[in-house]
């Protein structure tokens, strides 16, 4: 993995600070636009711990040095290993992008062929895992099933705990990327009460996933190529997004040196939440609840009054149009050409138009994010809403694993263990029950 070289700080690359409690002055080196929080420890008053930063939600704290994904939130730029997302979405395949994220370079034809073959080879899951899925209730949420089955994979592959062995790491990475569609599809079939469909290794990664979801009695399930392509683009758009909530969870769990299945299961849990990957499900529910374009102004008024959020809008990093949302908006047209237009599209478009002109959203730089239109496509592709986040998880798996791989090779990383500012009561004597 390549890494950006560290610039040796000079006096000019430093921050001068004066602690007004003591009158002492400090020069803190600045490297790559950051100061090291540990350098603040030297600033202190005698008898008290050194200075620390307080940053709930890590809004201005870098947790790692990474060479995988670049985002400029103000300009709306997203690049994987330096390649713009627009070019990858248009010219690449999901497995090619996965290779790029993991290895840092686009594969040659021979490397891609070998990669696709090894992914294809690992698509099947152990029959015991199928029985494990059967144990879930008929109405279990597929994300809960996915989280549990990915976690269970660590019991099938105990060698995965040897995270210092590069060959072993790559084997587990290949396995997990290969098995995610199978686990996602089995969770879906379980919920539907339909028999599981085994992988068809003559199909592409995405076409095989659609076959495992929707095949019934036909000998081969052939999904419409345009729909396969649209889903492939969606997977590419979701493949990585630097230090988002779920990736941070994967890195944080991975920092304990646990196996990658356990770390990714934690990422899936984080993704499940409505403020993260669960947002597209929430967008669809919101659009259905609004019902007609005439009801949009009332809804917007409620959002501005703080009664609820406009789901699919706003982003911690993007203070501009999310570049992924632009690509998805275009993919909507391609999908609707095959499936017919989702009637909720009109409400979404009108909602976007009104919000983008409204001072509340303009002032806060709230633009559509990746989740605003993706739910409409997923619904048109016949996915029930509970499956939306599963699709996100399948797409994000190469990113989680590339970030995990970078983490375990980064000599500077330590077990994640943030500080706290303690605000509770100190040292008091235990009160017996009879005296409370």
- Our finding on whether 370 is near ligand ACO (CB under 6 A) is yes
The closest residue (CB) to ligand ACO is 314
Cα–Cα distance for residue pair 213/235, rounded to 1 Å: 16
- Our finding on whether 303 is near ligand ACO (CB under 6 A) is yes
Catalytic positions are 276, 315, 371
**Quick one: 107 or 375, whose CB is closer to ligand ACO?**
375
**Quick one: 332 or 366, whose CB is closer to ligand ACO?**
366
Contact region with ligand ACO (CB under 6 A), list: 213-221, 291-299, 313-321, 381-389: 313-321
Contacts (Cβ under 8 Å, ≥6 apart) of 247: 240, 241, 267, 396, 399, 400, 403
Distances (CA, A) of 397 to 41, 71, 98, 331: 37, 19, 9, 22
Contact region with ligand ACO (CB under 6 A), list: 122-130, 156-164, 290-298, 310-318: 310-318
**Residue 78 CB neighbours (<10 A):** 27
Contact region with ligand ACO (CB under 6 A), list: 120-128, 200-208, 250-258, 272-280: 272-280
Applying CB under 6 A, among 312, 323, 375, 395 the residue interacting with ligand ACO is 312
Applying CB under 6 A, among 226, 229, 309, 326 the residue interacting with ligand ACO is 309
**Quick one: 122 or 309, whose CB is closer to ligand ACO?**
309
Q: How far is the CB of 119 from ligand ACO (least distance, A)?
A: 24
- Our finding on whether 276 is near ligand ACO (CB under 6 A) is yes
Which residues from 125-184 bind ligand ACO, rule CB under 6 A? none
Nearest to 179 by CA among 139, 130, 228, 227: 130
- Our finding on whether 310 is near ligand ACO (CB under 6 A) is yes
**Quick one: 313 or 388, whose CB is closer to ligand ACO?**
313
Contact region with ligand ACO (CB under 6 A), list: 44-52, 156-164, 306-314, 336-344: 306-314
Q: Site for ligand ACO (CB under 6 A): how many residues? A: 18
Give the x/- contact pattern for ligand ACO in 319-358, rule: CB under 6 A. Answer: ----------------------------------------
Instruction: Output the CA angle 383-309-395, nearest 5 degrees.
Output: 35
Chain positions contacting ligand ACO, by CB under 6 A = 275-277, 279, 303, 309-316, 364, 366, 369-371
């Amino acid at each position: 993995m390549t890494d950006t070289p560290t610039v040796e700080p000079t006096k000019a690359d430093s921050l001068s600070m004066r602690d007004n409690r003591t009158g002492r002055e400090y020069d803190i080196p600045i490297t790559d636009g950051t100061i090291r929080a540990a350098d603040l420890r030297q600033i202190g008053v005698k008898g008290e711990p050194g200075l620390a930063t307080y940053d709930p939600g890590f809004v201005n704290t870098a947790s790692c040095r990474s060479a995988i994904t670049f985002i400029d939130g103000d300009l709306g730029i997203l690049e994987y290993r330096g390649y713009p997302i627009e070019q990858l979405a248009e010219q690449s395949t999901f497995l090619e992008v996965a290779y790029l994220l993991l290895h840092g370079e686009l594969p040659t034809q021979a490397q891609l062929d070998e990669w696709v073959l090894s992914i294809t080879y690992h698509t099947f899951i152990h029959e015991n895992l199928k029985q494990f899925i059967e144990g879930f209730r008929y109405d279990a949420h597929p994300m809960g099933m996915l989280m549990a089955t990915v976690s269970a994979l660590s019991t099938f592959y105990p060698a995965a705990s040897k995270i210092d062995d590069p060959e072993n790491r790559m084997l587990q990475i290949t396995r997990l990327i290969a098995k995610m569609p199978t686990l996602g599809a089995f969770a879906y079939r379980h919920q539907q009460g339909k028999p599981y469909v085994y992988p068809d290794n003559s199909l592409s990664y995405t076409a095989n996933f659609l076959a495992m979801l929707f095949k019934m009695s036909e000998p081969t399930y052939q999904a419409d190529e345009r729909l396969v392509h649209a889903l492939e683009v969606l997977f590419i758009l979701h493949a990585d997004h630097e230090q988002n909530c779920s990736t941070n969870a994967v890195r944080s769990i991975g920092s304990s040196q646990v196996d990658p299945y356990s770390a990714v299961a934690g990422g899936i849990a984080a993704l499940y939440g409505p403020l993260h990957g669960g947002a597209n499900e929430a967008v669809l529910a919101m659009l259905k609840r609004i019902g007609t374009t005439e009801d949009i102004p009332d809804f917007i008024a409620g959002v501005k009054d703080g009664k609820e959020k406009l789901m699919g809008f706003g982003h911690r990093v993007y203070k501009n149009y999310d570049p992924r949302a632009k690509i998805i908006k275009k993919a909507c047209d391609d999908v609707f050409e095959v499936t017919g237009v989702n009637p909720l599209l009109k409400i979404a478009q009108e909602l976007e138009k009104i919000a983008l002109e409204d001072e509340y959203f303009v002032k806060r730089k709230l633009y559509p994010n990746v989740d605003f239109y993706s739910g409409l496509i997923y619904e048109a592709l016949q996915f029930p809403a509970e499956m939306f986040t599963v699709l996100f998880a399948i797409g994000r798996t190469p990113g989680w694993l590339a970030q995990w791989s970078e983490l375990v090779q980064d000599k500077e990383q330590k077990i994640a263990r943030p500080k706290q500012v303690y605000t509770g009561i100190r040292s008091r004597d235990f009160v017996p029950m009879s005296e409370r």
